[in-house]
């Protein structure tokens, strides 16, 4: 087991290096720091001095890979590649273009993000599975076809529409909950309940439909027929045979997402002014703060790879056929 995890971590390393090199290429080679400075300071009527100042202030004035002016290891460490890219591996994200410490920003904002994303996701999966199971009970009937039509309709509606209309009708018109904002501690639920509900509803269409197809796939397999031939009731077949066998694909979809929940939801957080990582990223994108975007890209990949490893591990208890080897 330990060897297995070690091996997976070992495999993850080249991927992280790849992500690192890719972001480095995008942010420093395709676009030079000078381009960024221009974009920041406004492209017209900008003096060379102002640009140089900006670059120096942010620490983008070093050479890319090799610093011939420095001595010893300095010729490698005093470069953009070392300072801005390699340091990410030590989770040293540096400072944002506005001079704030990114690492502390991230740790402050993870909490609210998770408080919103985790319940949305977990309850969402649970609701989707329940809905799908209920529909499966009426398989082939008119109700089944009706439910599928509803699913397709729900998934054809833009996510933004759910948020806008939900926020407008529930918060603004009926004034049941605050429109937006966030509070520390237990009081946060008043602000979170609406986005969570909207998030779940927005996901039902695609989610329940996916689970329904999955369950139908599994229920068509031979062992379901064996179970019926043993005299197991339809509910028993569903819960003791179909569901455990559907766990594997469900886990693939679910476990890999869990770590990335830390990243929060870009759109939801900004609509409801929740100070999480999602709105942090959105603000960074809108302000063209590439230092933050770079940090978040790296963090996102790390979390995704963690998710992949967790998925593999979770297989081993969901499926006896998969013993780590």
Partner 1 sequence: MSITEALRKTEARTVESKELALQVSHLNVVLRHQPDTRILKDVSFQLNKGEVFALVGESGSGKSMTSLSIMRLLPDALKITKGKIQQGDTNLFALTEQEMGTIRGKKIAMIFQDALTSLNPVQKVGDQIAETLKIHTQLAGDDIKKRAIQLFDEVGLPDPEKRVDWYPHQMSGGQQQRVMIAMALACEPDILLADEPTTALDVTIQKQILELVKKLTVSHKLAVLLITHDMGVVRETADRVGVMYKGEIIEEGSCDAFFENPQEEYSRRLINSLPDMDSYRPATDPAPLLKVDNLEVHFPVCKGLLQRVHDYTKAVNGISFSIAKGETLALVGESGCGKSTTGRAILNLEKATGGEIWYNNQKVNTFSRKEMLPLRKKIQVIFQSPYSSMNPRMTVGDIIEEGMISLKMGLSKAEREQRVESLLNRVQLEPEHRYRYPHEFSGGQRQRIAIARALAVEPDLIICDEPTSALDVSIRAEVMDLLLELQRELQVSYLFITHDLSIIPHLAHRVAVMQGGKIVEQGKTEDVLTNPQHDYTRNLLSAVPKVH
Partner 2 sequence: MDLAFKPVVLWTDILIFILVGLVSFFIYTLRRNPENRNRWREVFSTKLGMSTFVIIMTYVSVALLDSLHFRTELPAAEGQSSEQVYYNNKVNSVLDLMLGEMGERQERTYSSPFSLKSWNRENIKTETGDTVRDYPELTFGGQHLESPDDQAIDMVLQSFKGIFSGLILAGILIGIHWLLLKRSKSTQPALPWSSAWITFAVIMAVFGWLVTMGNLYHVLGTDQAGNDTLYESLKGIRTGVLIGTLATLITMPIAISLGIMAGYFRGWIDDIIQYIYTTLISIPGLLLIAASVLLFQVWINNNPSYFEVGLEKADAKFLALCFILGITSWTTLCRLLRAETLKISQLDYVQAAHAFGVSHLQIIWRHILPNLSHIILISFVLDFSGLVLAEAVLSYIGVGVDPAMASWGNMINLASTELSREPSIWWNLAGAFVLMFTLVLSVNLFSDLVNDAFDPKTKLEAA
Give the interface with partner 2 as residue ranges (CB under 8 A).
Answer: 14-15, 18-19, 22-23, 26-27, 30-31, 35-36, 38-39, 43, 152-153, 155-161, 163-164, 167-168, 172, 216-217, 220, 260, 263, 266-267, 271, 281-282, 285-286, 288, 290, 293, 296-297, 300-301, 304-305, 308
State the Cα–Cα distance between residues 114 and 285, nearest whole angstrom.
21
Three-state DSSP string of 267-320: HHHHHCCCCCHHHHHHHHHHCCCHHHHHHHHHHHHHHHHHHHHHHHHHHHHHCC
Cβ 13 to partner 2, closest distance in Å? 12
Query: Are the C-beta atoms of residues 278 and 268 closer than 8 Å to each other?
Result: yes
Please say which residue, 186 or 229, places its beta carbon nearer to partner 1: 229
Of these partners, partner 2, partner 1, none, which one is at the site of residue 322 (CB under 5 to 8 Å by kind)?
A: none
CA distance 162 to 201: 8
User: Which one of residues 79, 113, 245, 265 is an interface residue with partner 1 (CB under 8 A)?
Assistant: 245
57, 230, 273, 283: residue in contact with partner 1 (rule CB under 8 A): 230
Helix residue ranges per DSSP H, the chain:
2-24, 33-41, 48-58, 74-77, 80, 102-137, 142-155, 159-166, 189-219, 222-229, 234-236, 243-255, 257-260, 266-271, 277-286, 290-318
Smallest gap from Cβ 76 to partner 2, in A, equals 24
Contact 314, 305 (CB under 8 A): no
Measured CA to CA, the distance from residue 44 to residue 224 in angstroms comes to 70
Q: Is 3 in the site for partner 1 (CB under 8 A)?
A: yes
Q: Does 240 bind partner 1 (CB under 8 A)?
A: yes
263 close to 299: Cβ distance less than 8 angstroms: yes
Query: Contact at 8 Å (CB) between 188 and 115?
Result: yes
Q: Note whether 100 binds partner 1 by CB under 8 A.
A: no
Q: Of 16, 41, 232, 266, which lies in the binding site for partner 1, with binding defined by CB under 8 A?
A: 232
Smallest separation (angstroms) from partner 2 to the CB of 70? 29
Residue 252: CB minimum distance to partner 2, A:
12
Q: How far is the CB of 238 from partner 1 (least distance, A)?
A: 13
Footprint on this chain of partner 1 (rule: CB under 8 A): 3, 6-7, 10, 140, 221-223, 225-234, 236, 240-241, 244-245, 247, 318-321, 325
């Amino acid at each position: 087991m330990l060897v297995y995890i070690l091996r997976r971590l070992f495999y993850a390393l080249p991927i992280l290096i790849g992500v690192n090199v890719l972001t480095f290429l995008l942010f420093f080679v395709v676009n030079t720091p000078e381009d960024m400075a221009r974009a920041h300071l406004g492209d017209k009527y900008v003096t060379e001095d102002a640009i140089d100042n900006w670059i120096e202030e942010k620490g983008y004035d070093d050479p890319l890979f090799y610093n011939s002016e420095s001595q010893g290891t300095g010729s490698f460490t005093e470069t953009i590649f070392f300072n801005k890219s390699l340091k990410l591996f030590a989770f040293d994200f540096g400072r944002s273009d506005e001079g704030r410490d990114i690492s502390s920003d991230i740790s402050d904002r993870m909490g609210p993000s998770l408080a919103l994303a985790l319940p949305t996701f977990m309850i969402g999966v649970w609701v989707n599975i329940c809905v799908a199971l209920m529909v499966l009970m009426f398989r082939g009937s008119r109700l089944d076809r009706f439910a599928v039509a509803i699913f397709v309709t729900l998934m054809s509606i833009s996510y933004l529409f759910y948020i806008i209309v939900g926020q407008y009708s529930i918060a603004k018109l009926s004034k049941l909950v605050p429109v937006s904002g966030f509070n520390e501690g237990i009081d946060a639920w008043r602000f979170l309940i609406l986005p969570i509900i909207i998030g779940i509803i927005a996901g039902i269409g695609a989610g329940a439909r996916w689970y329904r197809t999955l369950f139908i796939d599994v229920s068509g397999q031979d062992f379901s027929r064996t179970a019926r031939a043993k005299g197991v009731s339809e509910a028993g077949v569903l819960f003791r045979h179909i569901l455990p066998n559907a766990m594997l694909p469900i886990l693939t979809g679910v476990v890999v997402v869990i770590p990335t929940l830390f990243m929060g939801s870009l759109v939801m957080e900004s609509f409801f002014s929740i100070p999480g990582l999602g709105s942090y990223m959105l603000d960074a994108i809108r302000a063209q703060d590439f230092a933050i975007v770079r940090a978040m890209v790296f963090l996102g990949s790390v979390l995704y790879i963690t998710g992949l490893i967790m998925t593999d591990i979770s297989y081993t208890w969901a499926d006896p056929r998969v013993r780590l080897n």
